[in-house]
Amino acid sequence: MRIEPFRLERYFAQHEFSAPYLLCCSDCGSMSIGDLLQMEPGAEEKFRETWLGYTESQGDPVLREAIARQYEGISADQVLVHSGAEEAIFNAMNALLKPGDHVIVLYPCYQSLAEVARAIGCEITYWKLENGPDWQLDLGFLEDKIRPNTKLLVINFPNNPTGYLLGKEDLTRISRLSQYHGFYVFSDEVYRWLEYDDKDRLPSICEINESGLTLGVMSKSFGLAGLRIGWIATQNREVYRKLATYKDYTTICNSAPSEFLSVIALNHKKQIIDRNLGIISDNITRLNDFFKKYDHLFKWTQPKAGPIAFPELLKGRIGEFCENLVSKTGVLLLPGDLYAEGSNHFRIGFGRATMTAALQKFQEYLEAEGMGK
């Protein structure tokens, strides 16, 4: 397989551990192993006793139970644990697709959601989010593009990078189209549970579609990316079997300490997610003030969910803008042209309490450069 470099991940490899002010991260603030273990009496002792042999390749049964409890009508044997969401994306595409299959991908997107299928030799149609006064998605376009060889639709709500969240009726419509035309829906739900209003939360695709694949992970909403624990939940036994069979060639099984720690985090999901939503809510207030002050320079669309958004730079080119900013101040934004050629947007991340200091630096820079009003 000839796969293109992952532009966003290469950019992070260059800057993430050297730029002091990260203003574009997509995960919520993290914590130490000690902080996590403290949430549950007796967990520290049990963690020390965790056996470091091979683990069950589908994932620790206790962890699969804990994941299954997050979805309605899903049981532990319908959950397959992976090393992060990234392994699950790579494996699912490889297990389900062959050259010549047609794949429709929501766009802009986290690159692997389209690139793995493209590298396999699939024909890709990009289903674009349009930025009017708000982000918008045309379901008519999707319907028009379905072909007899359409094998897979890849969606991601809340979306990376725009933060866009689909309406529930539209998800039902997508699910019906998949059932009628016989394609799979791969739903990247790594930012799920970060809806600012619970009422906006979409059902998971594995709950409403018998062949739907739900992708979840500990990295984003929980802020525990270092665990490298992700999963796919699906009711479809044949899909599950294909995925499990493919995984024998990538990681075989998962990290035992990470599986144990993920169970603790899932047992305390409400506490962790509430903390993260609190940080997001405070940061959104700051961002609304900031973007109001600089509305001559940026177009801001506040999302309904998640820790990221994709504002547009109205003057100048985004690549140069981000490069100057990081080299002069150490503030890291993510230029939108890493997602889509010609985009003049940038990704901003607000899931961490450290955002305040980074935004302050950003503002000082804009004033020093004479970009204020």
165 neighbors 158 (Cβ within 8 angstroms) = yes
Binding marks (x or -) toward ligand PLP, 92..111, rule CB under 6 A? ------------------x-
Please identify, among the stretches 83-91, 93-101, 138-146, 296-304, the one whose residues bind ligand PLP according to the rule CB under 6 A: 83-91
Binding marks (x or -) toward ligand PLP, 221..260, rule CB under 6 A? ----x----x------------------------------
Residue 126 has phi, psi (to 5 degrees) of: -90, 125
- CB of 156 or CB of 234, closer to ligand PLP: 156
The reply to whether 26 sits near ligand PLP by the rule CB under 6 A is yes
The reply to whether 214 sits near ligand PLP by the rule CB under 6 A is no
Residue 353 has phi, psi (to 5 degrees) of: -65, -20
d(CA 67, CA 74): 9
Helix (H) or strand (E) holding 116: helix 112-120
The reply to whether 156 sits near ligand PLP by the rule CB under 6 A is yes
d(CA 128, CA 124): 12
Taking alpha carbons only, the member of 58, 55, 75 closest to residue 66 is 75
d(CA 90, CA 106): 17
d(CA 265, CA 122): 37
Residue selected from 105, 217, 233, 348 as contacting ligand PLP according to rule CB under 6 A: 217
The reply to whether 205 sits near ligand PLP by the rule CB under 6 A is no
Helix (H) or strand (E) holding 127: strand 123-128
The reply to whether 150 sits near ligand PLP by the rule CB under 6 A is no
Spatial CB neighbours of 40, under 8 Å, sequence gap ≥ 6:
264, 267, 268
d(CA 373, CA 367): 9
Closest distance to ligand PLP from the beta carbon of 372 (Å): 32
- CB of 8 or CB of 318, closer to ligand PLP: 8
How is residue 325 written in tokens?
A: 């900013």
- CB of 205 or CB of 217, closer to ligand PLP: 217
Closest distance to ligand PLP from the beta carbon of 215 (Å): 7
Residue selected from 58, 91, 150, 160 as contacting ligand PLP according to rule CB under 6 A: 160
d(CA 244, CA 247): 5
Closest distance to ligand PLP from the beta carbon of 260 (Å): 18
Q: Nearest residue by C-beta to ligand PLP? A: 84
Residues of the shown chain interacting with ligand PLP in the complex, contacts defined by CB under 6 A:
26, 84-86, 110, 156, 160, 188, 190, 217, 219, 225, 230
